[in-house]
Amino acid sequence: MDCDWPLLGPLRWLHYVNKQVKVRTGKGDEHSGWLLSVDPVSASAVLLTFSETAASVRVVMGHAVKEVEVLREADEVTAERLRAALLPPSPPSLDP
């Protein structure tokens, strides 16, 4: 999608949240991941990538974002995982 990312505003940023996106920077790098959030102050995009065993976050600064393309929507399992990703660590479960 061709857009002036930092100017889109909260409602249009929210549209990308919980979708798998590809972020292209002005330097030409591409980063794919699930979009967790967009900082409304700096327009920075928070991307989560995860495998069976590990997860990492990449934040692309708003001033560096050139283009954001939606790749796909989250299914239920992924959506749940995304919701849990930024929550404060939960106390250990009582279940064994």
Sign of CA dihedral 23, 48, 74, 39: negative
Q: Is residue 3 involved in binding other proteins (CB under 8 A)?
A: no
Position 59 contacts other proteins (CB under 8 A): yes
Cα gap 15→50, rounded to integer Å? 21
Looking at 1, 3, 32, 42, which residue binds other proteins (CB under 8 A)?
A: 42
Kindly state the number of chain residues that form the binding site for other proteins, as judged by CB under 8 A: 34
Q: Shortest distance, CB of residue 11 to other proteins, whole angstroms?
A: 5
Amino acid at 54: A
Within residues 67-86, the interface with other proteins by CB under 8 A covers: 85-86
Nearest to 50 by CA among 16, 84, 23: 84
Q: Does 58 bind other proteins (CB under 8 A)?
A: yes
